[in-house]
Amino acid sequence: MSPTPSLFSLYWTNYRLLAHATGSRLGLCVVVFAFCAEVGNAGEYGRAENVAPESAEDVQLGLDELDEELELPAYTLAEDGFGREYPFWADSQLSLNVRAFDFDRVTGLGPLEQVFEVGTELAFESGKFDERWSVGASWHTSSVLNDRIDEKQPGAPEPADISVLSRTWLRYDFPNNWLLSLYRQDFNLPYLNRLDIRMIPNTHEGYVVKHLGDDFEFIAGHIAKFKRRDSDRFVPMGEAAGVAGDKSGTEILGARGNVTPLVNVGGIVLHTQDLFTTAYAELSFKQSFDEAWAIQLAAQGTRQFSNGDERIGNFDTNFWGARIALSYKGTVLKLARTGTGRGGDIQRPFGGSPAFTSSMIFDFDRAGEQARRIGLSQNFADFDLPAVSFVATYTDGRGAIAPDGTAFPDSKEIAFTADYQPQRGPLKGLWLRVRWADADRGSPAADRKDLRIIINYSLNML
């Protein structure tokens, strides 16, 4: 372990004193920047979700990453070291990642949940042995320093300290960008992904064959177990879907490729025996007109239905979406429209939703729900401020129904995300994120307001 816990203890004490004195989150902001100045540079140890793109061509799609993680800049402790003459060691990476997370949620009736957590990840990824084999592992910890929950959500665990070996994988690289990946690892697939929005990401125990490339990507395999982001236990996929003691796994088959240089199409099927099947497809067109203007047109669709013994109920539903993104330099305007079938809510027990209207609090994919979104993001790279960006969205949904056919009130959500992420200089790798959302579902008890402040730090040790 690093000296991180003692540093956090020191700064947490200062934060409590300053926050008490100011009666605001100024204390936390000061602590965040002080901590960064003390320990160095930072980077997120997960997928960079919702970061403002530089162009409409870069607006994220559901199948953009078939298990590829975004590489972020980070400070390197040692350029040369033990065993550099051997590829297994020469190409190995060892990183210490730190995250601090402050979460505050209120309803129209008052405070609902307030949590402040810190966590670490020690991650190792080897170079190639015999030019083919590599291994990797990640050990995550999470500690709750302060929490208050006034209304526990059904089925949600209390905030707790967690220590877990979340990833342990073996990989074999075949020629022509084919590979075999085994055991506990990350996936960034529609409805089966990291959902890295709190302290520890979702991870899965899987056995897959993949092909990675610019023009064609493919994945097929078996996902046996799932560990939620708030747990240290891997459980069978059937149990994770809500059926106690169910040992079912999930079969996956997906591909994505370029039909033409401008048009991309992809799809994936996730089949959990005797529970449900999800089929997802997307189509996109991207075009830049000059160095300033670009456009992306995209469509997506999901079909989801129970199968076999139907252990989580009998349902058959669908989801569709369309989106246009237009950019001028670093300014991106997005308009999206989605709709969910009346056969049931979209089930997503294994990760987050790829829906174009999925927002910070609500996913807008309840049975019958029709949603619209307008979004604006700004990346300030063209203004010599590449570290600063923001995303703002407004989403509304109407027509959602309960299983008995009763109509739900219309819903709406305003969300804002600001990122500070230097790419060079003494703060290279720092990622400070502030997120705020105001969601209305027609009653004080159902309404939500969130404030989330997140800091990430990554120190490459090899």
Rounded Cα gap, residues 228 and 204, in angstroms: 9
Percentage of the chain modeled with pLDDT above 90 = 61
Cα 122 to Cα 93, 99, 166, 226, distances in angstroms: 11, 12, 10, 20
pLDDT higher than threshold 50 for residue 343:
yes
CB atoms within 10 A of CB 241: 21
**Averaged confidence pLDDT in the chain:** 83
In a 3-state reduction of DSSP, which class is residue 27? helix
Residue 157: the pLDDT is 53
Residue 170: the pLDDT is 97
Instruction: Please report which helix (H) or strand (E) contains residue 455, including its range.
Output: strand 448-460
Q: Which two tokens stand for residue 14?
A: 């200062």
pLDDT digits (tens, 9 = 90+) for 81-92: 555 567 888 888
Answer for the pair 243, 311: CB distance below 8 angstroms, yes or no.
yes
Q: What pTM does this model have?
A: 0.84
Which among 26-35, 118-127, 223-232, 318-327 has the top mean pLDDT?
A: 318-327
For residues 189-204, give the mean pLDDT: 90
pLDDT higher than threshold 80 for residue 379:
yes
CB atoms within 10 A of CB 415: 22
Cα 108 to Cα 112, 154, 317, 439, distances in angstroms: 10, 19, 32, 10
Which among 4-13, 104-113, 119-128 has the top mean pLDDT?
A: 119-128
Residue 21: the pLDDT is 35
Residue 86: the pLDDT is 75
Query: Can you identify the CATH homologous superfamily of domain 40-460?
Result: Porin (2.40.160.10)
For residues 393-403, give the mean pLDDT: 96
In sequence order, what are the beta bridge partners of 96? 122, 459
pLDDT higher than threshold 80 for residue 128:
yes
For residues 121-129, give the mean pLDDT: 92
Instruction: Please report which helix (H) or strand (E) contains residue 316, including its range.
Output: strand 316-328
Answer for the pair 241, 349: CB distance below 8 angstroms, yes or no.
yes
Return the biggest CA–CA distance within the chain.
68
Lowest mean pLDDT among 52-66, 199-213, 367-381: 52-66
pLDDT digits (tens, 9 = 90+) for 211-244: 988 889 999 999 999 999 888 999 999 999 999 9
For residues 250-278, give the mean pLDDT: 96
Instruction: Please report which helix (H) or strand (E) contains residue 125, including its range.
Output: strand 110-125
Greater confidence (405 vs 13) lies with 405
DSSP sequence for 269-322: EEEETTTEEEEEEEEEEEEE-SSSEEEEEEEEEEEEEE-TT-TT---EEEEEEE
At residue 176, what is the residue type? Answer: N
Residue 112: the pLDDT is 85
Residue 24: the pLDDT is 40
Rounded Cα gap, residues 15 and 32, in angstroms: 9
Q: Which two tokens stand for residue 270?
A: 């996730």
